[in-house]
Structure 1
């Protein structure tokens, strides 16, 4: 039986205050104006940067669960096998994937929503329609995606980002560096497209993760995502713990790279490419925000390598 979009999500009693307020709205200007942030973990979350950013927010800020999605209808368990615990002669536990919606308060007491969990494998259009229904019912007026993609950039330079939006005005301080690119689709991308078609402001930032760290962790990318989220929305977010984690991780990576002349040479070449681009853009006050952007061919190559590695790991 095919589920309708609204049947994919269960609203919990904690959502009632949001629903009740929006039911009293008589004009668009009276809407609450909530921000919905999403960082669904999937193929477009290199180094788990988006998921780490979301987990950090949940660990650092007051929050409550207001909705959960039907993962049995959305996630391919054989492609992303959940973990089970086997002890001696019996199975003891099963850790199911989750797709959860939280109401969170930032450091200034401002509420926002966070969609956290696995990217759906199935029913993309129905899932996106379900999110669209929640946007309308909960008073959301802005939706922001946090993602990360592998790029030929060095870990020794500031993390750069690509910004995208349904309206140019939402990201007018971010330059446009390339034209049309053909890339694999994702649920966050489809969500942004469909929200834009419905007249809802949707935008996002994708942190550029050094391709040699794309399968590991890279807290500096998570830190950058939250910095840009704060800049784009005005939310007051705790970032110092991530800054400390990024600094410690940088030291660890430096030590590992230094053990291999080949790796040292690769990083040095990436640094030269980055610095040449920076020098060419000297005087642009956006440089520290966006930095190096590789060619379309390099972007496509890194995507293909990253996705192939993801497929190989699932096969293993």
Structure 2
């Protein structure tokens, strides 16, 4: 493997940007240093992981402290960046950015955010490079965010599944009940390698209704950040996500009310959800064999919902 250190560049004032504030030093018990990450390109139903990252970097103070050499990591022909052509010349280039940020929560506690496109190549070297940065900046726990499509209704609280390098890190979270072989990701490999090297790491996957998997679903992003706060002690704002979730939720309700087939699918999902909660005492839908709406029903409604939302967004 090539030297991981040559895959990234650290800013000169990186350590200074992570120093705790004077108020935090005087008034607060030191919290574990946290790194939260999401890499675009893998499963992210409802774009929840991206929404969560964009929200954190928009509403909280942040500074880039390290950048990765994307020329070594990305296949541009598989994910072509956007360029702007202005009449007779190329005017702009949407340059891909894979970066590590220093961010401060509402209490002024510093933490790290790693986000950008998922590497297409050199996953092992990338994981080793992130491991070096974790060592350098004294990270105590790493938390990955994503979202998965599930047979759940939008009318019920968004569920979440957790996994971690140690069972006690997620003892209060819902977990898978069996073993499965799944397509890998750079984030999954990072968590695996961190655990093997003795670092604490966990992943949170929000549940998004099948029929909303391709549209933005801020309710799931809010769920992810709420669970990050519970798991790490960070004080993360979610007001803007809550407002967006309420707005989108009202729009979905209008669309469901206008379609008998959509209403029937949602009611079936509600019955399954409610019966599972009644039986288990919590919303676990990961090991249940009750009848589901058919794939054709879900697929037809997904296509209809997405087409309507695209039309709505273009008006």
- TM-score normalized by the length of structure 1: 0.85
Answer whether contact 2:17 2:102 (CA < 8 A) is retained: no
Q: Please report the RMSD computed on the Cα atoms of aligned residues, expressed in angstroms.
A: 2.4
C-alpha displacement of 1:294: 5.2
Q: Which residue of structure 1 aligns with residue 209 of structure 2?
A: 210
Name the residue aligned to 1:28: none
Structure 1 residue 93 corresponds to structure 2 residue 92? yes
Distance 1:151 1:249 in 2: 18
Compared with structure 1, are the counterparts of its residues 168 and 262 closer, same or farther at alpha carbon in structure 2 (3 Å cutoff)?
same
CA offset at residue 14 of structure 1?
A: 2.5
Q: Which residue of 2 aligns with 1:292?
A: 285
Counterpart position of 1:47: 46
Partner-residue secondary structure (3-state), 2:140: strand
Q: Are the aligned partners of 1:32 and 1:140 in contact in 2 as well (CA < 8 Å)?
A: no
Q: Give the gaps of 5 or more residues in structure 1.
A: 22-30, 310-316
Distance verdict in 2 for CA 1:217–1:294, change over 3 Å: farther
Determine the structure 2 residue equivalent to 1:114.
113
Residues 160, 174 of structure 2: 8 Å contact kept:
no
Shift of 1:135: 0.7
Partner Cα distance (2:43, 2:245) in 1: 20
Please give the per-residue CA displacement for 1:137-195, whole angstroms capped at 9, x wherever unaligned. Answer: 11111000111111111111100010100000101112434110111111111111000
The alignment partner of 1:39 has SS state of strand
Shift of 1:295: 5.0
1:151–1:294 Cα contact (<8 Å) kept: no
Alpha-carbon separation, structure 2, partners of 1:20 and 1:159: 35
Aligned residue number for residue 153 of structure 1: 152
Task: Give the deviation of 1:3 after TM superposition.
Answer: 4.5
Between 186-195 and 8-17, report the one with greater CA deviation.
Answer: 8-17
Partner-residue secondary structure (3-state), 2:83: strand
Figure out how many residues of one structure are paired with residues of the other and give that number.
285
Judging changes above 3 Å, is the alpha-carbon distance between structure 1 residues 295 and 92 closer, same or farther for their aligned structure 2 residues?
A: farther
CA deviations on 1:48-87 (whole Å, 9 max, x unpaired) are 1011101101111111110000111111112211111112
Tell me whether 1:17 sits opposite 2:16 in the alignment: yes
Residue 133 in structure 1 maps to residue 132 in structure 2: yes
In structure 1, the residue matched to 2:68 is 69
Task: Answer with 72-81 or 164-173: which moved more.
Answer: 72-81
Contact 1:45 1:148 in 2 (8 A): yes
Distance 1:19 1:208 in 2: 32
Local SS of the residue matching 2:80: coil
- The equivalent residue for 2:313 is none
